[in-house]
Each structure stands twice: as C-alpha cells, then as structure tokens.
Amino acid sequence: MPKQAVASPNAPKAIGPYSAALRAGQLLFVSGQVPIDPDTGAIVDGDIGAMTRRVLQNIGALLDAAGLNYAHVVRTTVFLADMNDFGAMNEVYRTFFAEPYPARSTVQAARLPRDARIEIDVIASYDA
C-alpha cells in the first residue's frame, strides 16, 4: 500500500509542508498537534488542561478520519514548554486512553510551534 495522507475538517490543517497524518502500511503517523481550534485557527485559551484536551481532540479527529480510535495508539510523544505542567497534562491525557496505555515519552522543549505550551504526536496501528 502506498503512503496515504489523512486529514479531517475537525482537526487543524497542517501549517507547513507536511501531512497532518500519514498512513504507511498498517501504521498511522499523526504529526505533532498543538492546541489549535480547527474552527478559528487560533490557539485555545485556558490552562494546560484545556490545551491538552484540544490537542487530543484534534488527534482523535485524525484517528477517526483514518478509521481508528485511541485504542489503536501504540506510541505518543508529549512536548511541554514547561515540565511543571506534567501533572495537569497527565490528568487530562489519562481520560483519553485505557490500559494497556501506549508507550510514551515526555520532554520539555525550548519552544513549540506558534509558541504553544504543548504538542503531542502519536503512532497508531491498524493491528492494535
């Protein structure tokens, strides 16, 4: 199966020369999502919890467009502008996933696109 780009009207459009999500074989690679409201194109207001929720909703829209859901996610990477936001991010994050949880790395980044406070990317498997 050749690579296939995946997009959704319920997720922000890519803001550069990349696909919002890309299917390659039995894997779906979702590019890093920041807390952009797909209706307004603006970063959502609120605390890190609200921002985490928006990011994961955007990821959910891309998973759905590819015929998948959060149960298919096998790996995530969370980028935080401030590692002090880890606990609050984790409280929201855990409501989107069930055991067995995907593998995950969480790192603090010096700067994220559009000066966002959080970015998350995921890898999902059609076999999961």
* CATH tag for 4-125 (out of 3.90.550.10, 3.10.180.10, 3.40.50.300, 3.30.1330.40): 3.30.1330.40
Task: Please check the confidence at residue 1 and state whether its pLDDT lies above 90.
Answer: no
pLDDT at 84 over 80: yes
pLDDT for 2 equals 87
Task: Name, in order, each residue with C-beta under 8 angstroms of 77's C-beta and a sequence gap of 6 or more.
Answer: 32, 104, 105, 106, 107, 120, 121, 122
Alpha helices in 7-95 (DSSP H): 48-65, 86-93
Q: Where are the beta strands (DSSP E) in 52-127?
A: 73-80, 103-108, 118-125
| Entry pTM | 0.96
Q: Residue 104: which pLDDT band, with cuts at 50, 70 and 90?
A: very high
Torsion of CA 87, 91, 70, 117, to 10 degrees: -50
Q: pLDDT digits over 49-83, tens only?
A: 999 999 999 999 999 999 999 999 999 999 999 99
Domain boundaries along the sequence of the chain: 4-125
Average pLDDT over residues 1-29: 94
Instruction: Show the tokens assigned to 8.
Output: 């959704």
